[in-house]
């Protein structure tokens, strides 16, 4: 429906200059269309970013139609052909279809280039033969990314950053796999999404129903959004994150004593003291401890139309953060296992690829 509406706006713009009986009338009609486009762009520029993006596309379609219609009318005037004749109708049909056809051709060319690029990539069947990779072996081509991480080393002369190469299934990239995977991609932050139930990728097509309508978040199959990123290990940042929620400042020196209690979720302890500050009154914080250090941090909002939980943990030297529906908190025992397996497999595959 959206594509059809954009095409109608394009045709409206195309038809606007066609009735011009001469060059002056054509110039006047073109200037009127140009003024409409400039005025609408000025109006959209005063909206927030999302609304600007939404309303700019129809304006561009109308403007493209007006430009194509003006060029078509100029050809008819130059050749002195009437629009009602067979030759005139043919010129009009070519004019109205030229830009859409070029757009479709460009899209097909981009798809061909993308398929060619992905065909040259290794597939998940080549992942290292370790248990962490077993669940990911049927997930398609692999993308290589070099991640730049902040170093936790504080000794004088230590390198301020470390690079780590990862190789992972492209299908997990969020919001969607890149059209052209770059062999030398270098990023400090990579986003992924997987289903909680089976650790399989969550494709963007699953966000729409059979009729093309967007499925509300609360009705979608539960998935987890997470990212590999550059930050110090969670053992060093967890207290700071907890202080934002439960403390009175963001200074570690003023961190209040944290008291824990058993929770109903295996492996997680509930932070019971101090209580969350007023800004995070509905938030519940959980931690997983190992040898006196926080190994996993989970914080659940408990409010809003789509309550969610955020988490932070480390695996194979990679700091990982993400979010998932609060309704899936009862499955936390398996969630970090899948995330850790994905990270561990990606790092092992990266090392294997690097030789």
**Collapsing DSSP states into helix, strand and coil, what is residue 103?**
helix
Average pLDDT of the chain is 84
Distance of alpha carbon 133 from alpha carbon 352, whole angstroms: 13
Q: Is the pLDDT of residue 276 over 80?
A: no
Q: Is the pLDDT of residue 182 over 90?
A: no
Arithmetic mean of pLDDT, 162-184: 84
pLDDT category at 239 given cuts 50, 70, 90 is: confident
> How much of the chain, in percent, has pLDDT values that exceed 90?
34
Cα atoms in the 13 Å half-sphere on the side-chain side of 126: 15
CB 179 within 8 A of CB 110: yes
Arithmetic mean of pLDDT, 266-282: 77
Per-residue pLDDT at 292:
76
Which residue is it, tokens 């009318």? 73
Q: Is the pLDDT of residue 90 over 90?
A: yes
CB 37 within 8 A of CB 88: no
Give the residue with greater pLDDT, 231 vs 16.
16
Of 39-53, 175-189, 222-236, 325-339, give the range with the top mean pLDDT.
325-339
Distance of alpha carbon 181 from alpha carbon 179, whole angstroms: 6
Residue 326 Cα to chain centre, angstroms: 21
C-alpha to C-alpha distances, 26 to 32, 130, 274, nearest whole angstrom: 10, 70, 73
Cα atoms in the 13 Å half-sphere on the side-chain side of 143: 25
- For the chain, list the strands marked E by DSSP: 142-150, 161-169, 186-187, 189-195, 223-229, 259-262, 269-273, 284-290, 293-300, 308-315, 318-325
* CA-closest candidate to residue 148, choices 232, 235, 234, 229: 229
Local structure of residue 241 (DSSP, 8 states): H
Give the residue with greater pLDDT, 185 vs 244.
185
Distance of alpha carbon 145 from alpha carbon 149, whole angstroms: 12
Distance of alpha carbon 180 from alpha carbon 190, whole angstroms: 16
pLDDT category at 177 given cuts 50, 70, 90 is: confident
Q: Is the pLDDT of residue 226 over 90?
A: yes
Q: Is the pLDDT of residue 343 over 90?
A: yes
Per-residue pLDDT tens digits for 66-79: 999 999 999 999 98
Q: Is the pLDDT of residue 105 over 90?
A: yes
**Collapsing DSSP states into helix, strand and coil, what is residue 263?**
coil
> Rounded to two decimals, what is the model's pTM?
0.74
* CA-closest candidate to residue 143, choices 352, 348, 346: 346
Arithmetic mean of pLDDT, 158-168: 74
Per-residue pLDDT at 28:
93
Give, for 7, the enclosing helix (H) or strand (E): helix 2-15
Per-residue pLDDT at 222:
87
pLDDT category at 183 given cuts 50, 70, 90 is: confident
pLDDT category at 1 given cuts 50, 70, 90 is: low
What pairing do the DSSP bridges indicate for beta strands 284-290 and 269-273? antiparallel
* CA-closest candidate to residue 69, choices 83, 57, 54, 85: 83
**Phi and psi, residue 42, nearest 5°:** -65, -40
Give the residue with greater pLDDT, 182 vs 200.
200
């Amino acid at each position: 429906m959206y594509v059809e509406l954009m095409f109608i706006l394009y045709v409206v713009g195309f038809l606007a200059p066609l009735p011009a009986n001469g060059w002056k009338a054509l110039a006047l009609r073109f200037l009127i269309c140009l003024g409409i486009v400039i005025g609408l762009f000025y109006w959209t520029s005063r909206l927030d970013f999302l609304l600007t993006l939404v309303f700019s596309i129809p304006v561009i379609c109308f403007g493209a139609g007006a430009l194509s219609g003006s060029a078509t009318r100029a050809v008819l005037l130059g050749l002195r052909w009437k629009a009602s004749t067979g030759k005139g109708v043919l010129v009009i049909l070519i004019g109205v279809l030229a830009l859409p056809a070029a757009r479709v051709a460009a899209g097909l060319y981009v798809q061909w280039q993308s398929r060619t690029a992905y065909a040259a990539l290794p597939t998940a069947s080549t992942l290292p033969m370790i248990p962490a990779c077993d669940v990911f072996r049927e997930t398609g081509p692999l993308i290589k990314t070099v991640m730049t991480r902040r170093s936790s080393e504080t000794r004088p002369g230590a390198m301020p950053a470390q690079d780590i190469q990862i190789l992972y299934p492209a299908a997990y990239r969020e919001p969607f796999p890149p059209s052209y995977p770059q062999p030398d991609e270098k990023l400090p932050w990579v986003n992924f999404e997987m289903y909680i139930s089976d650790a399989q990728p969550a494709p963007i097509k699953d966000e729409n129903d059979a009729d093309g309508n967007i499925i509300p978040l609360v009705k979608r199959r539960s998935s987890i959004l997470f990212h590999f990123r550059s930050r110090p290990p969670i053992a060093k940042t967890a207290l700071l994150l907890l202080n934002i929620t439960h403390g009175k400042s963001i200074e570690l020196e003023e961190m209040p004593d944290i008291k824990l209690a058993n929770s109903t979720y295996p492996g997680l302890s509930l932070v019971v003291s101090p209580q969350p500050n007023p800004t995070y009154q509905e938030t519940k914080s959980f931690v997983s401890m190992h040898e006196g250090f926080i190994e996993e941090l989970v914080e659940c909002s408990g409010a809003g139309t789509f309550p969610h939980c955020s988490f932070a943990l480390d695996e194979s030297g990679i700091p990982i953060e993400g979010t998932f529906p609060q309704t899936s908190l009862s499955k936390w025992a398996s969630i970090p296992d899948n995330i850790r397996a994905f990270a561990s497999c990606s790092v092992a595959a990266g090392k294997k690829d690097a030789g």
